[in-house]
Each structure stands twice: as C-alpha cells, then as structure tokens.
Structure 1
Amino acid sequence: MNDINHFIGNDLVLSPTGDLSPVNGIDRGKQRVLRRLLTNPGDYLFHPDYGAGLGRFVGAVINIPQIVGLIRGQMALEECVARNPAPTITVSSSPDGTLAVGIAYTDAPSGEPTTLYFDVS
C-alpha cells in the first residue's frame, strides 16, 4: 500500500508529472514512525491516543528513560516495525534543549535493518 510521500516538517513531494508522489517500502515506514513520534496526542480528532508528542520535551527537564519508553511503546503500534529484534533507541539532549533521537529497527515488510535519526527542537 502507498502513502503520500511526505516527511513531517517538509513539503509534499511531487512526481515528475506534478502529481502527489506516493511512497512505499522502507521510506513509507520511516515516514510513519516519524509522524507518530512527532504528533501530539489529541491532534487527530478521531484518534486521540495517536502520537508520542516528543516536542513537548524540548526545553523541559529531560528524563531519558521515560522518553525511550514512550518511543518504544509508540513504535510497537506501527505495523512497519518488526517485533523481533526489538528496536534500539538512543536519546540525548543538548544544552539548548534539543533532543537527538536515533532508532535502529527492522522493517517488518522487507525484513531489512533500518535506521532513523532526527532532532526535535
């Protein structure tokens, strides 16, 4: 199944003919994981429990184990993330309050190891 090619925070991607570009495979999974982790709970009217809301931790007192647990729980809800082996998650914070997140997981549909790195500021 295809989704619209859109990394959260960026513009929609257009096809060479000017249509909305579809995304599938590993990139689809990465986009879905990133969208879930950055969406605030309650932002989707009909899915009030969707999202981790990582942005709320920026500039706050950071509890790394809490954030890792939140990410792990949200990733378990994504069908594109294989259950075994479990994802490896690293979170660090900088003095300016930015969070750096690194996730290594196996893409369930393809069985390929996948990494996702992003900052939350």
Structure 2
Amino acid sequence: MYDLSLDWSGDLSLSPTGGLELSTGANLTRQRLIRRLLTNPGDLLEDLTYGAGLAQYIGLPVNAGALQALIEEQCLLEDTVESVSSVKILTDGKGFVSATISYVSIDASEAQSLTLPTTT
C-alpha cells in the first residue's frame, strides 16, 4: 500500500530518481493517522464521515474519556492499523493537552507511538 509522502505541515518531496516520494510501512500509517485525526468530519467530499476533527476541541473543556474513545475509534478505522494498545490524554492544568497513541500497524510487528499536542 502506498500514498504520496506528505506530512501534515509539509509539502510533497521528490524521490532520488526525481519522481514524487511515496510513503510506505510505519510512515504511511503515521501519516494516515495524523490526517484522519486532524481532518474535520464533512471536509472530505468522498466520505463526509471521515475524520475526528481534533482541532474543533481547542478552547473547550477536556473530557479525557470521550476524547480517548474518539481517537481510538478513529485509529481503528484506518486499514493500516492492526490494533491500538493505548490512548493517553495528558493535561497540564494550564490549557495544554496532548494525546499519545500506541498502536501496531499491519506492516510492523512492534508497537508504534504518535503524540499529538494541542493547546486549548
């Protein structure tokens, strides 16, 4: 399985042969999870239910349990995710919230980790 290599805040990159760089394996899963978690439901015309829309929660009181359940549910919808072992929501009491997701992708035998920081 391949996608164009494109980090959320980056740009397309060229491969050593001059074509567009492709994302595979663990990087593909990481890229897809970030896209799914940050995309707002309704923004993707091909699938209006796609996305967790985590940015919508900035500035709102944190319900850690609900946020944890949403993230785990969305991660498991990705074809490249085999399982989610944990989702930890951390708050510092000053409005900073981060989510650390531990998961296993179908291309890797060991757990991967992804941390998404957000400020409320």
Give TM-score scaled by structure 1 length. Answer: 0.87
Alpha-carbon RMSD: 1.7
Which runs of 5 or more residues in structure 2 are unaligned?
none
Aligned partner (choices 88, 91, 96) of residue 90 of structure 1: 88
**Offset from partner CA, 1:32-77 (integer Å, 9 cap, x none):** 1111001000000120000000001111111110100000110111
Which runs of 5 or more residues in structure 1 are unaligned?
none
CA contact (8 A) 1:72 1:87 kept: no
Read off the aligned partner of 1:39 and give its amino acid letter.
T
Aligned-pair distance for 1:95?
A: 5.0
Distance in 1 between the 2:79 and 2:20 partners? 24
- For 2:117, the equivalent position in structure 1 comes to 119
- For 2:69, the equivalent position in structure 1 comes to 69
Judge which range, 57-66 or 109-118, deviates more.
Answer: 109-118
- Structure 2 CA distance for partners of 1:17 and 1:81, relative to 1, 3 Å: same
- For 1:59, the equivalent position in structure 2 comes to 59
Distance in 2 between the 1:119 and 1:14 partners? 28
Distance in 2 between the 1:115 and 1:48 partners? 27
* Structure number having the greater strand percentage: 2
Q: Percent identity?
A: 34
Read off the aligned partner of 2:77 and give its amino acid letter.
L
Give TM-score scaled by structure 2 length. Answer: 0.88
